[in-house]
Each structure stands twice: as C-alpha cells, then as structure tokens.
C-alpha cells in the first residue's frame, strides 16, 4: 500500500493565454508538490496514476467542483510535481467561494484523508475579473485578508513610482515592509516594525554611494546601531553604536589606511579610547586613552622601527599596602630624556685598585655610548675613588692620591639602550580623531535624515 506522509504545497499561477481583456474562464495552472512513501516510510520511486479533486467541503460528502486524473506522474525519491489544470483547465469560478479543499487519490488506494485546504494564493485566480486587470496583469493594489477580513499582506504602488510589499500583525499594524528610500524610488529598502508600526530595524541602499546599510532603533525611536561605511571610502565598512539620544558613542571601522580601528566616545562626545594604527604605518598598532577634553594622556604603540612603546604622564607600579589594608602603594618611575638601563652592586678595592665585570644581561642591552659609572666608598679611611676605564662589559676603579686602601664600595652603572641611541625628545603631536561615518552630499550622515517609505492601509 502506498500513502502520503508529508505534503509540501507550492502554488504558482501561470496564464496559458493572454488576451487584451481578462475573461472569467481564463484557463490557469496551479503547481502542486507532494511526498510519497510506502507503508514502511520508504520514499517511492515509481510512475503512478493520481486523481486530484477540488471540493467544497473537507468531508467525502462535499461536492466535487473540479477534478482531473494524471496517469503518468513520476515520483523520484518520494517527490512529485504536477500542474493541476494540465488535463482539465482550472477556471477562476472554481474559487468563487471562500473555502475550497483538495482531495488526492493515488491509484489503486482510496482518497487520502484528510483533504488539504486551499488558502491564499489559489484565490489569485479571481484576479482575472477584478477591476483594472488586463491580460492577466493587475494595475491596482493587491490585498490578502485573513478569515476576519483584515488585511495581513499587501502589494502596492507608491505615489513616487516605487513598489511596496507590507505585512501586518494580528493587531492590524504593519510589522514588515519591502519598500524604497523616501525620495529615492530607485533605492530599495526593507524594514521590521514594532507593534505600533514604527521601524525598529532597516536595511537600505544609501543615497550617496549606493552602499548597503543597516540601522536599528530603540523603543524611543532613536537609532542605536548602524552598519554603514567610512566617509570618503564607500568600500570600507563601519559599525556605529549610539546612546538613547542618538549620539555616537562607539565606532568599529576600516580607516583610510585599510586598517581596522576602534574608537569610543564619552557622554560629552569627546574621544576617550582609540585603537588605531601608528601614524602612516597601517601594520603597527596604536592604543590611546584620552581625557574629558579629547586629549591623549596615555597609550602604547609600535613605532616605525618596530619598537613597542608605552607612554603617559607618569609610569607606575602598584602593590597592595601590607601595613594598611584597603590601601595601595604606588611608586612612580624615574624619567629622563633618553631610553636607559642600569645595573648596581658592590665591588671590592684591593691595594687601591679594582676591576668589576658587568653581568651578561647588561652587556646585551647596553650601548657603547652613553655609559655612566658612579661609585661610593664604604670606608671612612678612603681618599676617594676614580673611574679610570669603562665599557658595557666592565669598569676599573683606583683610589685617589695613589692610595692603596682595601675596602668595599657601591656602584651604579647606567647606559643608553642598544637601538635607542637616537631617542627623540621632541616629536610631532599625536593625531587621533574619531572616524566620520558615511555622509550624503552636503555632509549629513547618510540615512539619518532619510526614512523608508511606508504606507498605512
């Protein structure tokens, strides 16, 4: 025994003949798709005879308004497609009443129960007789109503020439629209609306560069996010987030160097955090934090020499204060007009002479230039000490006045770091501005002052 376990119905209308004026009996086709399995649920592969009936009632007692038998329906992997009306034409009078039911019989089995109710699209057969229809084309608006007669879908022509497709919720308010940008009938757009028929998400073509953009809105009606482009670079994307007053508070975008960038702004509208690239090098990163006036106060970046740099008004370390719980100890680093390293320790003078070898790690980072050695004798009998030789590897000390004392002394050696001999104290001012979003001619943000066209039923 063969039986249908699943039906997927696809209706499409195709006029077989076009005339200068539509007639009530214009023949049409209706596409139907089904799925057949055997009694074990295995999809069929066969050629079968099927009878299709359009009835006035879901019960077997309902009168048959139209029927036809198609003797050679090909079923492949359970699926079959037929054009109802290909044997016995379906005329629009078949759908003169609001309820119609489709019955299917697969020979030699009895009719499949239950019958399938025909809804929505088949009733488009009636458009052959509505006012304004000529040759199967409709020049007016199309409305689809529910069982209560309320519009749930419409296809309309806007006053400025564009088309409009809208759907409506159970409360009668529009909830989705496929339309145009107001004032730009060649630019398409789509919107999702709330229960009050207000746009809460929009997708459109911009009015400046024909770039796609998406905007979302909060319950107060103001924009809270936008996916658009960076000003002057229509192929560079930009995501913008805004506050409840529709003021920009953050941007994630591709900048003029084709590098990714991120900027955050405070409630006063000034920049407070920025992730960018270092000056004209798009492959070197830059992170800056700003004060309330938008001036950069601290940051880190990789310079043109590939060196990582951290900067700020002060550089500190912080540890918890073991003597006063709830407080911290902050030490500020020593600063100067050079990038330097130091090493310190205690040496021993023997018979007025000493030579101190410096550790390998200091030798690895110290430059040959800019070495300073300071020594402090740890004996009250000392006549004083002098540094008589120095290099990144060692330094030599002698006691003054040909002294021949033997005692310890403390030392500190500082040196310019290798690779930082040309440290620049005076540099160009930091330049870090937030991005400008896509703008229409005249400078207004593209889309912020333009609405999607919407009509009310």
pLDDT digits (tens, 9 = 90+) for 21-48: 334 444 567 888 888 888 888 888 999 9
Share of the chain above pLDDT 70, in %: 82
Note whether residue 321 is domain-resident: no
Which of 93-107, 250-264, 399-413 is the least confident region?
93-107
- Domain presence at residue 320: no
Res. 316: pLDDT tops 70: yes
Give the pLDDT score at 439: 39
Q: Which of 353, 347, 365, 376 is nearest to 414 (CA)?
A: 365
Same domain membership, residue 168 and residue 146 = yes
What are the residues facing 300 on neighbouring strands? 287, 310
* Predicted local confidence at residue 147, as pLDDT: 66
Q: Would you state the pLDDT for residue 31?
A: 80
Whether 60 maps to a domain, the answer reads: yes
Q: What is the pLDDT of residues 330-360, one digit of tens each?
A: 999 888 999 999 999 999 999 999 999 999 9
How high is the pLDDT of residue 138? 52
Considering the domain architecture, whether residues 159 and 96 belong to the same structural domain is answered as no
- The pLDDT score that the predictor gives to residue 447 is 46
55 and 27 in one domain? yes
pLDDT at 229 over 80: yes
Average pLDDT in the 180-186 region? 80
124-133, 251-260, 335-344, 407-416: range with highest mean pLDDT: 407-416
- pLDDT value for 36: 85
Q: Which two tokens stand for residue 96?
A: 């003169």
Please give the tally of structural domains in the chain: 3
* Same domain flag for 86 and 201: no
Instruction: Please report whether residue 19 resides in a domain.
Output: yes
Can you give the CATH number for the domain in which 236 is found? 3.90.930.1
Q: Are residues 164 and 263 in the same domain?
A: yes
How many residues appear in the chain?
457
pLDDT at res. 124: 47
120 confidence band (pLDDT: 50, 70, 90): very low
Question: Is 93 part of a structural domain of the chain?
Answer: yes
- Does 107 lie in the same domain as 84? yes
Q: What integer pLDDT is reported at residue 379 of this predicted model?
A: 96
Q: What is the extent of the structural domain holding 129?
A: 2-134
Using the 3D structure, point to which of 244, 261, 280 is the last residue of a domain. 280
Is 305 within a domain? Answer: no
pLDDT, tens only, 9-20: 434 333 333 233
Q: Do 154 and 128 belong to one domain? A: no
Reported confidence tier of residue 139, pLDDT bands at 50, 70, 90:
low
d(CA 366, CA 353): 25
pLDDT of 17 reads 31
d(CA 392, CA 269): 51
| 239 C-beta neighbours (distance < 10 Å), count | 15
Mean pLDDT over residues 414-431, rounded?
A: 86
Residue 147 shares a structural domain with residue 230 = yes
Q: Which residue in the block uniquely carries the two structure tokens 């929009």? A: 202
- Among 56, 45, 42, 131, smallest CA distance to 95 is for 56
**Confidence (pLDDT) at 10:** 39
Q: Residue 230 has what pLDDT?
A: 85
| Mean pLDDT confidence for 192-214 | 85
| pLDDT at res. 218 | 93
- Assign 64 a pLDDT band (cuts: 50, 70, 90): very high
Mean predicted confidence (pLDDT) in 197-213: 85
Task: Answer yes or no: do 147 and 272 share one domain.
Answer: yes
pLDDT of residue 154: 84
Do 160 and 247 belong together in one domain?
A: yes
Name, of 211-220, 306-315, 378-387, the range with top average pLDDT.
378-387
Residues of the chain above pLDDT 90, percent:
39
Contact 332, 314 (CB under 8 A): yes
Q: Are residues 159 and 109 in the same domain?
A: no
Instruction: Tell me which of 398 and 294 has the higher pLDDT.
Output: 398
For residue 289, the model assigns a pLDDT of 92
Q: Is 331 exposed, middle or buried, given 0-12, 13-18 or 19+ CB atoms closer than 10 A?
A: exposed
Q: What is the pLDDT of residue 453?
A: 58
User: Domain boundary residue among 280, 299, 325?
Assistant: 280
The CATH number covering residue 409 comes to 2.60.40
The CATH number of the domain holding residue 130 is 2.60.40.10
Residue 428 domain-assigned (yes or no): no
How much is the pLDDT for 454? 54
Confidence grade of residue 400 (pLDDT, cut at 50, 70, 90): very high
Please state, in angstroms and rounded to a whole number, the distance separating the CA atoms of residues 156 and 174. Answer: 14
Domain boundary among 280, 305, 332: 280
Q: Per the domain annotation, does 48 fall within a domain? A: yes
- Mean pLDDT for all residues in the chain: 81
Q: What is the mean pLDDT of residues 412-438?
A: 77
Same structural domain, 79 and 181 = no
Distances from the Cα of 393 to the Cα of 134, 364, 384, angstroms:
100, 9, 23
Average pLDDT over residues 394-412: 97
């Amino acid at each position: 025994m063969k039986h249908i376990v699943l039906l997927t119905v696809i209706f499409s209308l195709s006029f077989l003949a076009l005339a200068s004026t539509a007639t009530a009996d214009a023949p049409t086709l209706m596409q139907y798709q089904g799925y057949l399995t055997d009694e074990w649920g295995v999809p069929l592969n066969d050629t079968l005879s099927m009878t299709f009936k359009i009835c006035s009632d879901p019960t077997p007692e309902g009168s048959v308004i139209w029927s036809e038998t198609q003797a050679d329906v090909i079923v492949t992997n359970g699926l079959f497609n037929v054009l109802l009306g290909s044997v016995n034409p379906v005329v629009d009078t078949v759908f003169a009443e609001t309820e119609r039911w489709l019955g299917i019989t697969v020979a030699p089995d009895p009719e499949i129960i239950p019958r399938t109710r025909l809804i929505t699209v088949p009733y488009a057969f009636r458009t052959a007789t509505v006012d304004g229809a000529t040759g199967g084309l409709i020049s007016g608006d199309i409305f689809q109503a529910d069982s209560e007669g309320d519009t749930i879908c419409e296809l309309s022509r806007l006053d400025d020439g564009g088309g409009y497709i809208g759907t409506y919720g159970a409360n009668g308010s529009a909830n989705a629209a496929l339309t145009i940008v107001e004032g730009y009938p060649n630019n398409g757009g789509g919107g999702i609306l709330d229960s009050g028929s207000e746009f809460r998400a929009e997708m459109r073509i911009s009015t400046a560069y024909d770039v796609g953009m998406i905007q979302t809105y909060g319950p107060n009606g103001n924009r809270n996010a936008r996916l658009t482009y960076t000003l002057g670079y229509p192929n560079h994307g930009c995501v913008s987030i805004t506050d409840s007053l529709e003021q920009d508070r953050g941007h994630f975008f591709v900048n003029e160097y084709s590098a990714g960038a991120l900027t955050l702004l405070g409630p006063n509208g000034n920049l407070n955090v920025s992730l960018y690239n270092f000056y004209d090098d798009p492959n070197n990163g830059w992170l800056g934090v700003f004060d309330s006036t938008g001036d950069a106060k601290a940051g880190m970046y990789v310079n043109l020499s590939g060196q990582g740099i951290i900067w700020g008004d002060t550089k500190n370390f912080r540890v918890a204060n073991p003597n006063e719980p709830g407080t911290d100890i902050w030490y500020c680093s020593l600063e100067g007009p050079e990038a330097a390293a130091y090493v310190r320790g205690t040496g021993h003078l023997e018979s007025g002479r000493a030579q101190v070898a410096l550790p390998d790690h200091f030798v690895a980072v110290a430059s040959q230039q800019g070495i300073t050695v300071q020594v402090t004798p740890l004996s009250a009998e000392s006549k004083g000490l002098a540094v008589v030789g120095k290099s990144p590897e060692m330094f030599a000390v002698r006691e003054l006045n040909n002294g021949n004392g033997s005692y310890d002394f403390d030392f500190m050696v500082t040196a310019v770091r290798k690779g930082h001999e040309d440290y620049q104290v005076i540099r160009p001012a930091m330049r870090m501005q937030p991005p400008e979003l896509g703008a229409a001619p005249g400078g207004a943000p593209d889309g912020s002052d333009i609405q999607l066209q919407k009509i009310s039923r």
